[in-house]
Amino acid sequence: MLASNTKSISGLFGDVVEQFGLLVRTEVRLAQAEFSEKVDEAVKGAAYMAAAGLVMIPVLVMLLMALAIGLAQMGMQPVISYLVAAAVGSAISGVLLMSGLSRLKANNLKLKKTMHQIHQDLAAARTLAK
């Protein structure tokens, strides 16, 4: 009788180990998928920023030249009008840079789904271990 109880306990332990291994493999696949998704998101963000920069450069140059010429025609000294236009261009560039950098922050690239699932799995394992 003792031998059958020992075998059934070892069988249960084997099942637990097998299920735990399956759980770990599943979590690794989830982490890989989420990581791939985050990398794709970061690459797309960088690509859009680069494309916007390429398109925006000539547009911004023309707008700043028009601003400088307009200020000069309103009576401002040409040197001052070009400095004002340059300051406006710098402010626009700063806003665009900060917007792009905020999309690439580490917090936006965390594997939130995977971490949440791992915490749930650990909580379930602790409950079963009690």
Domain boundaries, the chain: 2-129
Cα 55 from Cα 84, distance rounded (Å): 23
Q: What is the pTM of this model?
A: 0.46
Q: Could you tell me the maximum CA-CA distance found in the chain, to the nearest angstrom?
A: 106
CB of 28 closer than 8 Å to CB of 99: no
pLDDT at residue 1, rounded to an integer: 45
Cα 107 from Cα 41, distance rounded (Å): 13
Q: What string of pLDDT tens digits covers the 130 residues of the chain?
A: 445 555 677 777 778 778 877 887 888 888 888 888 888 888 888 888 888 888 888 988 999 999 999 999 999 999 999 999 999 989 988 998 888 888 777 776 677 777 787 788 777 777 766 6
